[in-house]
Chains A and B, each alone.
Chain A
């Protein structure tokens, strides 16, 4: 995935789309204030100066699907698991809730279910049947909408063809109005993400920690609203 920070407006459509797609429960005000809110993708806001003249930067942060993910080796039950496709999967059934992966993740993108999931009405009527809901006591995080990837793969296999670029994308990328989020196959040098990945604006988040993340951020290093 490539995230173009120069395009991101901080509208949080990605956050809403992700919640709807992946059956992310709502925490409620009190629990959110205690730090129990779950959002697989979040838009981080950094700013300088105070109103009315703040300079703002937005950074959508989701699981970076690291190649050398610190969350994987520490899990005692293989709940945090590297798939052959290179995804960093979370296998809910295996998770016993040590929360070690949540400690080890430098991006703090792993979320613990402090309670059984609840949805404010009428959100409980729009749950996605393709995504399992998670019970109390286990970790969850961004899956890169693995259910969409799998569905497209199965479809392609049934039609005896290869996957076509653009056939599927993640909910966040689909919802992004300025197309700041682009999802695709980095192994295909012709793909859109591969092209963007070669941009001279490309950076990785916390690369110095040695996680080898799969998400690339494009940024010129300017504040929102500045003329360039």
Chain B
């Protein structure tokens, strides 16, 4: 199959449209989201001004909504880079339109997640004391503290995933530069970093991408393992468990895929990308989601069954309230959201459609938020000495800030789509030509966009948008 001039023009037109044309709806959406974010920032300001007591935290529940959000967003961040890296290394052909919208989730979710340990601090203006810098206080951070491990894990992951996101954007920014006029041309000339599409540049890009894809996987796994160790290291009943590392990693990938499916469905609808993000992608990601749902069930059974069977007093004090006490409604909602509904929808082929996977993903996102809440709050409410037990109820400040993070995520995504082609254009073109990204003629990215060379014989299927007959 050969791409002709019309195909390339149509591809460029479809995928660059959001950058060049902005509808009124965009401004309205951005305005509303920005207002929600501003209200959330104001709520945080109020908490700083009035004292931490305006949140619902108390003794013994010192961690609750903020840390739930922290774990939730760090979990969501595993959507992108990890999935994208695995799909790249496995050379899954269908990945091409998916990778970038996944990678960008990682970067933004990580930024939002990383802000929560700061929001949650008693004295957030001193958060920089976690940095290892030679200070006048002549004291290092305590390297034995899992929170310091967290700091290093998250900064490493943020740096790595940002690089991983930006590298394959360079050729696309160069394409925008070549298509644009006026201020856009100036902006994208800078952003494209002098990309000319020479074979040497392509080869370097491919090498860099390969290194990053391999390197980012252990980083991603370590990040959520370390997040789990924030909980598992301290001797708190039902938290002090070796299963937490893999349990959190599985849960993170699980919620990450769900978030990715939701983002893809919205993009597909709003930007009219039906030809690029096809039911095939939702079907494949749906299968992955089904597998992760079963993994998640396996972990929760492994965790709960051993605790129940061991029947240790301090742990049962935490266990029963989640099974049939005050937390039972949340617990069983979580089981329904994370297992029952997704399992039914995703294991039936006829239901594994775009709409079906979106429904399953929505319940999973809700269920995984509840899961983190149930890991954090019930064990703290009932630590060893019954006299010191307590209960936790969220208060408006925490709820507003939580809502604000979802708005912040949507807003950042919205703005990103305005500046970056959300589907990697050069990778789509390369996918049509052949599976390897290496020898792509520079002409592909420069006017006139035209590929004259015959396609390699091995090619069987390009992205769905190009499966139509080409004369």
Contacts and interface: CB of A to CB of B under 8 A. Distances in A.
A107 B385 contact: yes
A98 to B, nearest CB: 6
Closest 8 CB pairs of A and B: A97-B122, A137-B122, A35-B58, A114-B53, A104-B234, A99-B62, A108-B388, A44-B387
Interface stretch (A70-78, A145-153, A160-168, A193-201): A70-78
The secondary structure that dominates the A interface is: loop
B142 A76 contact: yes
A204 B359 CA distance: 53
Contacts of A114: 51-53, 57-58
B121 A103 contact: no
The secondary structure that dominates the B interface is: loop
A166 B220 CA distance: 57
B236 interface: yes
Nearest to A111: B59
Contacts of A107: 384-385, 388
Interface in A78-108: 78, 94-100, 102-104, 106-108
Nearest to A205: B385
Interface in A89-145: 94-100, 102-104, 106-108, 111-116, 135-139
Given A35-B60, A59-B387, 18 more contacts: A37-B59, A42-B387, A44-B387, A45-B387, A61-B387, A74-B146, A94-B129, A96-B124, A97-B121, A97-B122, A99-B122, A107-B384, A108-B383, A108-B388, A114-B53, A115-B52, A139-B122, A210-B235
Interface of A: 31, 34-37, 42, 44-46, 59, 61, 70, 73-78, 94-100, 102-104, 106-108, 111-116, 135-139, 206, 209-211
Interface of B: 50-53, 56-63, 117, 120-124, 126-127, 129-130, 137, 139, 141-142, 144-148, 151, 230, 233-236, 380, 383-388, 390
B51 to A, nearest CB: 4
Contacts of B383: 106, 108
A211 B58 CA distance: 24
A102 B62 contact: yes
Contacts of B130: 76-77, 96
A94 B144 CA distance: 16
B59 A100 contact: no
Contacts of A61: 385, 387-388
Contact of B122 (A42, A70, A138, A209): A138
Contacts of A115: 50-53
Contact of B147 (A31, A74, A209): A74
